[in-house]
Amino acid sequence: MTLDQFFAKLWNDYTAMTPQAQRIHDAFVADGEAIINDHVAFRTFDRGPITLANLEPHLLALGYTRFEPYDFAAKKLRAYGYLPPSEEQPRIFLSELKCDELSTTAQRIIDGLVGQIDAARVGTPEVMWAGRLWDAPSFEDYQTLMDESEYAAWLSIIGLRANHFTISVNHFQTYDSVEKVLDKVESLGLGINASGGRIKGSPEVLLEQGSTLADRAEFTFAGGQVEEIPTCYYEFAKRYRASDGRLYQGFVAASADKIFESTDVRGARHAG
């Protein structure tokens, strides 16, 4: 599989789940902008056959290289940033939940999900947009996970796929700041993640980011209960050059900590 094929499949799956992303994409194209992806992000559990260590070989096979690890103690996550084989391709951010740090009840729920995974499916790159590799959980189990980790609850129903694509604001002509991009997105009637402020980061940390509030969809839980749940979101990033003239390639943990909340309907609507 070529990198272009990989991202085409990933994008198709992502926009099917996230109609707002196609709308935003098309709105900027209509205004004459070229869409280049800064990065794409994935979420997983550090349990069963889909751990970060088990998924990483797919990225390495596509030519990605490990760049830098990140740790999010409060959210019980660890992550890695990966650099693409060529500059026109997006970076990748892959995080995993530290399941050991959850209650035994939550761990039992997660083990029940990852225990259903067909390990053969994890051996192909298609696993990166396979979605749920287990039966839908009950709404009760979803809420139990939500009480401890919004990330765990989200992953239990959405599964493996692009959690977000990120537009590179550096490649925009008219909308040349994250603020201008967010104003345009808002003018389409879409919500912005205000957790930690609309714009995370600054030129001083060499990265500014903003994101939408995740799209919403109806989900059928085990037993047939239907509830509206958050799906995926879209991000916008502007990178700056360090004093040595090189464009910053990393992520900023303090900003990422707030970007994660784009799927959290409880907090991200309000600044905090």
Q: List interacting residues with Ni ion (CB under 5 A).
A: 41, 235
Cα separation of 242 and 224, whole Å? 53
CA distances from 224 to 16, 45, 174, 218 (A): 22, 25, 47, 12
Closer of 41 and 185 to Ni ion (Cβ): 41
Which residues in the 225-264 window bind ligand OOG by CB under 6 A? Answer: 235, 251, 255-256, 259-260
Give the residue carrying structure tokens 């709308």. 23
Burial letters 19-37, b for 16+ CB under 10 A, else e:
ebbebbbeebeeeebeebb
CB of 41 to Ni ion, least distance (A): 5
Which residue in 10, 17, 41, 192 binds ligand OOG (CB under 6 A)?
A: 41
Which residue type, as a one-letter code, is found at position 166? T
The two structure tokens encoding residue 49 = 């056959």
- Cα radius of gyration (the chain): 18
> Residue 43, interface with ligand OOG (CB under 6 A)?
yes
- Residue 81: CB atoms within 10 Å: 21
- On whether the CB atoms of residues 148 and 102 are closer than 8 A, the answer is yes
CA atoms lying within 13 Å on the CB side of residue 100: 3
Contact characters 53-92, ligand OOG, x per CB under 6 A: ----------------------------------------
Closer of 47 and 200 to ligand OOG (Cβ): 200
Distance of CA 272 to the CA centre of its chain: 21
CB of 103 to ligand OOG, least distance (A): 22
CB of 81 to ligand OOG, least distance (A): 9
Closer of 117 and 232 to ligand OOG (Cβ): 232
Antiparallel, parallel or unpaired: β 164-168 and 200-202 = unpaired
Which residue in 6, 7, 14, 93 binds ligand OOG (CB under 6 A)?
A: 93
CB of 95 to ligand OOG, least distance (A): 5
Cα separation of 212 and 210, whole Å? 7
> Residue 163, interface with ligand OOG (CB under 6 A)?
yes
Closer of 13 and 235 to ligand OOG (Cβ): 235
Closer of 141 and 257 to Ni ion (Cβ): 257
Measured in residues, the chain has a length of 272
CB of 24 to ligand OOG, least distance (A): 16
Question: Residue 43's beta-bridge partner residues?
Answer: 95
Closer of 64 and 221 to Ni ion (Cβ): 64
CB of 166 to ligand OOG, least distance (A): 6
**Chain residues that interact with ligand OOG, rule: CB under 6 A:** 41, 43, 93, 95, 163, 209, 235, 251, 255-256, 259-260
